[in-house]
Amino acid sequence: MAAQFTQETSARGEWVRQANHFTDRITAEGGSGFPVEPGRYRLIVSLACPWAHRSVIVRRLLGLEDVLSLGIVDPLRDERGWRFTLDPEGRDPVTGLSFLSEAYLKGDPEFAGRYTVPAVVDLRTGSVVTNDYPQISLDLSTEWTRFHRPGAPSLYPPELRADIDEVNAVVFNDINNGVYKCGFATSQQAYERSFEALFARLDEMSRRLESRRYLVGEHITEADVRLFTTLARFDAAYHGHFKCNRYKLTEMPTLWAYARDLFQTPGFGDTVDFEHIKRHYYGTHPQINPNGIVPVGPDLSGWSTPHGREVLGGSPFGDGTPPPAQ
């Protein structure tokens, strides 16, 4: 595993994320060869993974559970990658996979990168269609509309797309991926540069959220989903494991209230699994936590305390309704 990270580290000790390899899109029109079709695809995720978590939240907010099934891997990988050891006999009951790598190699026998989640598998062929996580969640919003539940929110409305894309770009670079750049840096300088950029951007988002309840517009959008998945992992993993420790989330009042507000919104907190998060991060990167000890803390009880952000106006679902309780 260490060798894989070396491949993704620049000469200056900066961590560089690999490109997504499977970029076919599942579309309403089906021109890609992969039409939206109920029951045809399976979304494979780790509940620990922030990139996969986006699609889990969006799937639930839009009510796509019955048309796009969900496979969950063990939070701990072995040398063969993600595995289905949480399922009976170690096999995903729908795809029959024991390892996610089987679906990657079926899609491309020459594939030599990391086998990552989220991945969408075509049940007709058993191959990965896409591991392109930014596109997966957007396509659930824009291509799967025929199957959205009544009252589903509009997470990527055309009139807000430019603003959402703009926020997403900086949040990705300095926050979503920024915590990884801190954690996987192999030089002091690279770590410090990423650390400064991360907290400068968190400060900027915090100022933006002082007077508005959501990042863009008056209700939840894809931009909130993407920031939330990193904030939900901040104190449980990134503060300690990735050395993102200028402040804890709980010490940044506006962001902490914003994160709690989302956490208490159906579709967000009910998709967070802190146990998977902690076990995955602390147990998976021997180059930064060689003994694999998983911390007992932090105390998570604060997540359900009042956030007071209703006074800012807005409403989470706009004209829509929350997804029913699970």
Ligand X SMILES: N[C@@H](CCC(=O)N[C@@H](CS)C(=O)NCC(=O)O)C(=O)O
Query: Hey, which residues are catalytic here?
Result: 49, 180
57 touching ligand X, by CB under 6 A: no
Query: Tokens at residue 184, please?
Result: 């996987």
Nearer to ligand X, 115 or 238 (CB): 115
Question: CA 121: distance to chain centroid?
Answer: 18
Nearest approach, Cβ of 313 to ligand X (angstroms)? 34
144 is in an annotated binding site: no
- Contact pick of 22, 133, 238, 282 for ligand X (by CB under 6 A): 133
x/- mask, ligand X, residues 13-52, rule CB under 6 A, reads ----xx-x-------------------------x--x-x-
Nearest approach, Cβ of 84 to ligand X (angstroms)? 14
Rounded Cα gap, residues 23 and 225, in angstroms: 21
Nearest approach, Cβ of 49 to ligand X (angstroms)? 3
**How many residues touch ligand X (CB under 6 A)?**
13
Nearest approach, Cβ of 257 to ligand X (angstroms)? 26
Alpha helices in the chain (DSSP H): 2-7, 50-62, 100-107, 133-142, 161-171, 178-184, 188-208, 222-233, 239-241, 253-263, 274-284
Contacts of 112 (CB under 8 A, 6+ apart): none
- As a whole number of Å, the end-to-end CA separation of the chain is 37
Nearer to ligand X, 128 or 223 (CB): 128
- Contact pick of 64, 72, 117, 252 for ligand X (by CB under 6 A): 117
Q: What are all long-range contacts of 194-201, with beta carbons under 8 Å and residues at least 24 apart? A: 194/14, 195/243, 195/244, 195/246, 197/173, 198/174, 198/244, 199/244, 199/246, 199/247, 200/174, 201/170, 201/171, 201/174, 201/175
Instruction: Return the DSSP state at 264.
Output: T
Nearer to ligand X, 49 or 231 (CB): 49
117 is in an annotated binding site: yes
Nearest approach, Cβ of 85 to ligand X (angstroms)? 15
Contacts of 64 (CB under 8 A, 6+ apart): 140, 144, 147, 148, 149
145 is in an annotated binding site: no
- Contact pick of 13, 81, 151, 266 for ligand X (by CB under 6 A): 81
- Contact pick of 127, 131, 141, 176 for ligand X (by CB under 6 A): 131
Nearest approach, Cβ of 119 to ligand X (angstroms)? 8
121 is in an annotated binding site: no
Interactions with ligand X, residue window 189-228 (CB under 6 A): none
Rounded Cα gap, residues 272 and 27, in angstroms: 28
Residue whose token pair is 């603003």: 163
The answer to whether the beta carbons of residues 81 and 101 sit under 8 Å apart is: yes
- Contact pick of 116, 154, 194, 229 for ligand X (by CB under 6 A): 116
Q: Which of 115, 118, 100 is nearest to 55 (CA)?
A: 118
Residue whose token pair is 């300690």: 240
- What one-letter code names the amino acid at 24? D
Where does this chain bind ligand X (CB under 6 A)?
17-18, 20, 46, 49, 51, 81, 114-117, 131, 133
Report the binding-site residues for glutathione. 82, 114-117
